């Protein structure tokens, strides 16, 4: 996999990730039960639900990290190169100490093919990393150490990393952790902008309902099963209604 | 091989210093030049992946292996140490993946078990002198076979690093992220644990199991404070390990001190200097409430 700069283009609207009767059982416990839904390129789908609802487990199932029943198929739109589904993943956090000798450039080197990180990035890979970072307004961070970044900067860097190589499906796992309101708003802004520039579907795991209402095209309410799916206003209204009843 | 050995002794013997006149010093110098970069390379990942206590446990596990080897009347109890260390590494990795118990506690239990079993077996067979040999080690007694083993281990580890260093470092940052990039996390973690077990067991006879972990970890720990990126990290670690190794060996000759301990004292000195003089972060670090 040679590093190449992400090439922005509009989403075709026809690429579809089809999840059919997906179920996950871990340690004898049913974590996810019979989920069926579609993810379409150019759309941001927010995944909301209480703690322990299985949101992160769903991402891990899509990543192929936990075994699941049912199926998950990707159908590329017309003109889409025939290949396996490429998934970009933005984790909740990275494990590193503040003194860790690892720069943003090293992070790209670790993920961009076979060249060992200690030899540094090639000029080509460096240009690709810079172009990717530029998409999230972070090109100036290329030579910073990870320990010198703010929470928001780190999340944008991880977002840029997930664009290289360009994914069909982008999974963002509760990226707002360690961010304040302004940082979160900026992050949502960047995600919303990327939606229009890449041919990919975005799944955003979130606790921030107000942010979800602004940025998402659809909201899935998950609690082991898919309780509701639809436009943000509709699903959030349903949530308010059901919590009012309790 | 004989030619290379002859050349080495001839070249070093031509140096004007007293220590260079002794064949065992020349062999020990070669051992240090092979073991230092080997351990620095592995040590950078041990520190980065927060496996310092893990590798220390492996060092102490050697005691049980030694005890078993002695009780079984093996001519080379070292092989029992190697098999025991690799088994313990595999078992600890398995427990780490499967259990929800705190890992430092699990490691502490493994260490206690190995040390207790080793002491019991060695005392039972009246071999406490062997115990002392392996506790302290002696690099001056290294054999040609020992040197050849270190050379092979160094070459193999460099080859492994060229192929797997990225994958291993990525698992240390985030397992799911590594998995999403095609890294087979379980294999990489298990493979590295086995590599640490083999490397530690190979060097224990020369450095001693009491100090083996310091030898492994201190150069990388000091390098971590001085380096800004991964390339510098590795260079600093190898450089400091070589200087501490050669400096420790030569000064142990003049001070008449055990070589392993002297090398570790040099490494501790470098770590202390790095701690005092390392560059401070230029701005507030994560998490930063004042988001830009």
Query: What's the angle, vertex CA B31, arms to CA B25 and CA B32, rounded to 5?
Result: 90
DSSP structure class, residue A78: T
Nearest to B230 among A93, A106, A173 (CB): A106
The pLDDT value given to residue B100: 75
Two structure tokens written together for B143: 């054999």
**3-class secondary structure, A73:** strand
Domain residue ranges of chain B, discontinuous segments joined by +: 18-275
Chain A and chain B share a number of CB contacts under 8 A equal to: 126
Two structure tokens written together for B249: 């060996």
Interchain CB distance below 8 Å, A179 and B291: yes
Q: Which of B42, B291, B292 to mutate to test the interface with A (most CBs of A within 10 A)?
A: B291
For A62, the enclosing helix (H) or strand (E) is helix A55-62
The pLDDT value given to residue A126: 92
From the list A80, A98, A44, A62, the residue with the least C-alpha distance to A213 is A44
Structural domains in chain A (count): 1
Q: How do residues B34-70 score in pLDDT, each as one tens digit?
A: 999 999 999 999 999 999 999 999 999 988 999 999 8
Whether residue A158 lies inside any domain: the answer is: no
Residue A193 neighbours by CB under 8 Å, 6+ apart: none
Q: Which residues of chain A neighbour B223 with C-beta distances below 8 Å?
A: 101
CA of B208, closest CA in chain A: separation in Å? 29
Whether residue A105 lies inside any domain: the answer is: no
Nearest to B281 among A120, A148, A151 (CB): A148
Interchain CB distance below 8 Å, A154 and B286: yes
Interchain CB distance below 8 Å, B285 and A98: yes
The answer to whether the CB of A117 falls within 8 A of the CB of B165 is yes
Range of the domain at A172: 16-97+167-245
CATH number reported for the structural domain that contains residue A87 in this entry: 3.40.50.300
Span B102-117, average pLDDT? 90
Whether residue A145 lies inside any domain: the answer is: no
CA of B83, closest CA in chain A: separation in Å? 30
List C-alpha distances in Å: B157 to A110, B43, B48, B162, B167: 19, 12, 17, 9, 15
From the list A151, A113, A132, the residue with the least C-alpha distance to A197 is A132
Interchain CB distance below 8 Å, B230 and A109: yes
CA of B110, closest CA in chain A: separation in Å? 25
Whether residue A155 lies inside any domain: the answer is: no
Q: Which residues of chain B neighbour A64 with C-beta distances below 8 Å?
A: 179
pLDDT at A180 over 90: no
Nearest to A95 among B174, B283, B291 (CB): B174
**Tokens 């949530």, residue?**
A239
B18-275, what's its fold? Answer: ABC transporter involved in vitamin B12 uptake, BtuC (1.10.3470)
Query: What's the angle, vertex CA B282, arms to CA B276 and CA B283, rounded to 5?
Result: 125
**3-class secondary structure, A173:** coil
Give the model's confidence band at A4: pLDDT under 50 very low, under 70 low, under 90 confident, else very high. low
Tell me: cis bond preceding A191? Omega within 30 of 0 counts: no
pLDDT at B173 over 90: yes
CA–CA gap between residue B128 and residue A65 (Å, rounded): 49
Whether residue A71 lies inside any domain: the answer is: yes
CA of B292, closest CA in chain A: separation in Å? 7
Dmax of chain B from CA atoms?
Answer: 68
Q: How do residues B70-88 score in pLDDT, each as one tens digit?
A: 888 888 888 999 999 999 9
Whether residue A241 lies inside any domain: the answer is: yes
Mean pLDDT (chain B) is: 89
The pLDDT value given to residue B275: 92
Q: How do residues A70-126 score in pLDDT, each as one tens digit?
A: 988 888 777 666 667 888 999 988 888 888 999 999 999 999 878 999 998 999 999
**Sign of torsion, CA B201 B206 B210 B216?**
negative
Interchain CB distance below 8 Å, B230 and A101: yes
Nearest to B165 among A116, A151, A182 (CB): A116
- Would you mind telling me the total number of residues written for chain B in this entry? 292
CA–CA gap between residue B248 and residue B263 (Å, rounded): 4
CA–CA gap between residue B30 and residue B7 (Å, rounded): 12
Q: Which residues does B contribute to its contact with A (CB < 8 Å)?
A: 48, 50, 161-163, 165-166, 169-170, 172-174, 176-177, 179-181, 223-225, 227-235, 278, 281-292
Q: Which residues of chain A neighbour B274 with C-beta distances below 8 Å?
A: none
**3-class secondary structure, A154:** helix
From the list B139, B165, B184, B164, the residue with the least C-alpha distance to B24 is B139
CA–CA gap between residue B161 and residue B199 (Å, rounded): 14
Two structure tokens written together for A232: 């943000």
């Amino acid at each position: 996999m040679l590093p190449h700069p992400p090439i922005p283009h509009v989403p075709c609207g026809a690429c579809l990730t089809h999840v059919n009767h997906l179920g996950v059982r871990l340690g004898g416990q049913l974590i996810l039960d019979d989920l069926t839904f579609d993810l379409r390129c150019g759309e941001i789908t927010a995944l909301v639900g209480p703690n322990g609802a299985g949101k992160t487990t769903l991402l891990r199932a899509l990543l192929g990290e936990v075994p699941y029943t049912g199926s998950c198929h990707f159908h590329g739109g017309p003109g889409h190169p025939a290949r396996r589904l490429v998934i970009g993943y933005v984790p909740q956090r990275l494990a590193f100490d503040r003194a860790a000798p690892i720069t943003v450039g090293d992070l790209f080197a670790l993920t961009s093919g076979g060249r060992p990180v200690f030899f540094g990035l090639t000029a080509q890979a460096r240009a690709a990393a810079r172009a990717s970072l530029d998409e999230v307004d972070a090109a100036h961070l290329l030579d910073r150490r990870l320990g010198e970044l703010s929470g928001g900067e780190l999340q944008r860097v991880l977002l840029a990393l997930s664009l290289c190589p360009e994914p069909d499906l982008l999974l963002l796992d509760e990226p707002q952790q360690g961010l304040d309101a302004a940082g979160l708003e900026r992050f949502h802004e960047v995600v919303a902008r990327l939606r229009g520039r890449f041919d990919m579907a975005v799944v955003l795991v979130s606790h921030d309902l107000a942010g979800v209402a602004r940025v998402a095209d659809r909201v899935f309410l998950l609690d082991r099963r898919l309780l509701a799916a639809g436009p943000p206003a509709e699903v959030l209204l349903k949530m308010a209604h059901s919590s009012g009843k309790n | 091989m004989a030619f290379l050995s002859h050349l080495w002794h001839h070249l070093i013997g031509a140096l004007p210093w007293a220590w260079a006149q002794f064949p065992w010093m020349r062999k020990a110098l070669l051992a240090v030049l092979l073991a230092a970069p080997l351990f620095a390379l592995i040590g950078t990942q041990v520190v980065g992946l927060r496996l310092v206590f893990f590798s220390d446990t492996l060092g102490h596990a050697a005691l049980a292996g030694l005890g078993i080897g002695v009780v079984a009347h093996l001519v080379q109890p070292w092989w029992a140490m190697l098999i025991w260390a690799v088994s313990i590494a595999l078992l600890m990795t398995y427990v780490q993946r499967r259990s929800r118990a705190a890992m430092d506690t699990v490691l502490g239990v493994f260490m206690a078990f190995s040390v207790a079993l080793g002491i019991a077996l060695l005392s039972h067979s009246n071999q406490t002198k062997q115990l002392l040999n392996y506790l302290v080690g002696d690099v001056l007694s290294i054999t040609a076979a020992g040197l050849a083993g270190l050379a092979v281990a160094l070459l193999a580890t460099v080859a492994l690093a060229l192929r797997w260093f990225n994958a291993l470092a990525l698992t240390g940052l985030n397992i799911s992220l590594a998995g999403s990039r095609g890294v087979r996390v379980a294999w990489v973690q298990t493979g590295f644990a086995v590599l640490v077990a083999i490397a530690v067991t190979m060097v224990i006879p020369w450095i001693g199991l009491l100090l083996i972990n310091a030898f492994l970890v201190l150069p990388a720990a000091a390098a971590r404070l001085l380096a800004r990126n991964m390339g510098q990290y590795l260079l600093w670690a190898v450089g400091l390990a070589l200087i501490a190794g050669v400096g420790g060996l030569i000064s142990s000759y003049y001070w008449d001190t055990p070589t392993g301990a002297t090398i570790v004292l040099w490494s501790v000195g470098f770590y202390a200097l790095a701690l005092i003089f390392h560059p401070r972060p230029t701005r507030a670090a994560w998490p930063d409430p004042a988001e830009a």
